[in-house]
Amino acid sequence: MRPTLLFLLGSLALAQGFLASTPLGRAEGRWEDGAIAFYGLPYAEAGRFQAPRPLKVWPPGVGREKVACPQAFGITAAFGSPIPEEREECLVLNIFLPQALPPPEGFPVMVYLHGGGFGSGSAGEPLYGGHHLAAQGVVVVVPNYRLGPLGFLALPALAREDPKAVGNYALLDLLEALRFVQGYIRYFGGDPGNVTLFGESAGGMLVCTLLATPEARGLFHRAILQSGGCGYVRPLEGDFPKGEAWARARGCPPEDLGCLRALPLDRLLPRLSPLSLQDLDLGGRISDFLESPFKPHLSPLLPEDPRQVLARGGARGIPLIAGANLEELDLPALRGLWGPGSWGEFQARLEAELPKEKAQALLQGYRARFSSPALAYGALETDRILLCPSLKAARLQAPHAPAYAYLFTYRVPGLGGLGAFHGLELAPLFGHLRVPPFLPLFLTQEAYEGARRLGERMRRYWTSFAKEGEPRGWPRWPLYREGYLLLLDEPPGLLPDPYEERCGVLEALGLL
C-alpha cells in the first residue's frame, strides 16, 4: 500500500500544518514559501568518534527544529551565514516537498550536501532552503554531517577500535542519510529510485567521494558537483601524527579515547580566529584548507582515490554535471591587497607550498597568460583549487556516462569588482536572494531581477537533470565530450572547453 500523507489544517492565524506518517513515527511540517518544509528529522544517532546507527523510532514532535553540528569558527560564520543551535546529536535532515500530490512513482529526489571546508556549515542555513527547487516538482533533502575532527579525526587508537569508521565518520553519516532516503522518502512523496546527489565546495567534494565509495553504489543515481573536485581525500596513516598532535593540544593522550570523548565541546572546538593554525584548528586560508587533516580518508570504506575510480569507470552509468565559478578565489577589487606585487613574490608563494621545479613551471605558464602577478595568482588559485578539479571530474566521467560542464560567470550589477566568486551561484540556484550571507548583494532591483532570472534558468536545468538525466533549457546544454561548457550568466551562452588552456600546466605537473 502506498504511504499516506496526512494534512492538518491550522487556523488562518497560524501556518498550516502538514503531517507525514512514517514507520519511524510522525513528522510535523509546515507550509512555507511555496513548499512544505520539515526541519530536523533524525536519520541516525552516533556516539563521539563512532559510526552512526540508523534510528528505529522518532521522538514525538519532530519536524520543526533547525539543528547544526558542532563546529569551530570557520568559513561559514566568517561570511555571516546564520548557524542554528549546535548540538552533538545533530544527525538530522531537512525535507522540502512540492505543494502538490506526488505522481504514482513519486517525485524525483535531490539530496544537497552543504559546504564549509569540511569544518563548518549546516543544513539549517537559510540559504539552503529547498523551497524554490521543490516548486519545480522535486523533493529536496538537506542533511547535516559531522564536521572537523568530529567528522574526520584519524588516530591509531580509533583505527584499532573501528578500522572502517576511523577518519570517515562524516562519510558514514552521509551514507546513513542516503539509506534513510531509500527507506523512507516514499512517505514524503519521493521516488527512492530517482535520487540526485548535489553539493557545493566541500559538499561537491563529498559528492565525488561518494561516487567512489563502494557502499554508496545504488543509493543515488545522478550527481552534480559544484565548485568541488575529486582529489580531496587524505592518506589515513599519514594523518595519524596530525591527529595525535590535535589530541595532545586538547590535553588528552592520543591513545586515551575516553578522555577525548569526555571533553566538553568548548575545549574540543574552541572558537579561534579562522586565520589561525593554532592547535590545528584549520580554517580560513587556502593553505590551511589544503593542509587540514579533517577530510575524507582512504580506508577500507574508501579504498581508492576518487579520480582513479572515475577514470576506470567505477561510477559508470551515473550522469554528472560538474562546474565552477569564474573567479572562485579571486576578488578582482581586492587583488591589489592580497595578490603578489611582483613575479618574484608570485614564485615565492608557490615555493612555500610546492617543489621548486613545479613552482617555476607554474610561473612560466601563468606569466605567459597574464599581464600582472596579482591577476595571475588569483587565476591560479581558482584553477588549481576548484575550477580545474571540477572540470576534471567531468572529463573523467564523460567516457562512462553522460557528463555536462558549466562555468558560472555572473557578476552582480554594481558590484562587479567582487567577480563571480566562490559560492555566489548558490543564491540564484536556491532562490534565496535576500537572506544572509548574500542579502547585501541583491538589494537593488537590477541586481535582484537579474539573479532571479538566472536562478529560474538554473533551477530548470538542475531539476530537469534530476528528473530525466539531461539538463534541459535554453540554450541546449551540450555533452562535455562535444567540447563546450554552458555559460551560466545573463544572458547565458556556450563556451569552448577551456580545460587545456587553464588546466593543462596543472595537469602536466600532476597537480590535478
**b/e code 306-329 from CB counts within 10 Å (16+ = b):** bbebbbeebbeebbbbbbbbbbbb
Distance of CA 24 to the CA centre of its chain: 28
**Nearest Cα to 405, choosing from 479, 507, 462?**
479
Alpha carbon distance 38, 189 (integer Å): 13
Rg, Å, the chain Cα set:
22
Distance of CA 496 to the CA centre of its chain: 26
Grid cell in block for residue 98: 512540492
Alpha carbon distance 414, 85 (integer Å): 35
| Helical H segments across 251-355, by residue range | 257-262, 265-268, 286-291, 306-311, 335-338, 343-351
Grid cell in block for residue 31: 507550509
Alpha carbon distance 200, 271 (integer Å): 24
Enzyme catalytic residues? 201, 328, 422
**Torsion of the alpha carbons at 406, 411, 416 and 421, rounded to the nearest 10:** -50
User: 95 - beta bridge partners?
Assistant: 38, 141
Distance of CA 74 to the CA centre of its chain: 15
Residues 6+ apart with CB under 8 A from 45: 52, 53, 55, 89, 91
Grid cell in block for residue 390: 571540477
Alpha carbon distance 504, 268 (integer Å): 42
Alpha carbon distance 486, 484 (integer Å): 7
Grid cell in block for residue 193: 529510485
Grid cell in block for residue 388: 580545474
| Helical H segments across 166-272, by residue range | 169-184, 202-211, 240-249, 257-262, 265-268
Task: Report the number of secondary-structure helices (H) and strands (E) in the chain.
Answer: 19, 17
**Nearest Cα to 480, choosing from 321, 311, 307, 324?**
321
Cis omega (within 30 of 0) on the bond before 163? no
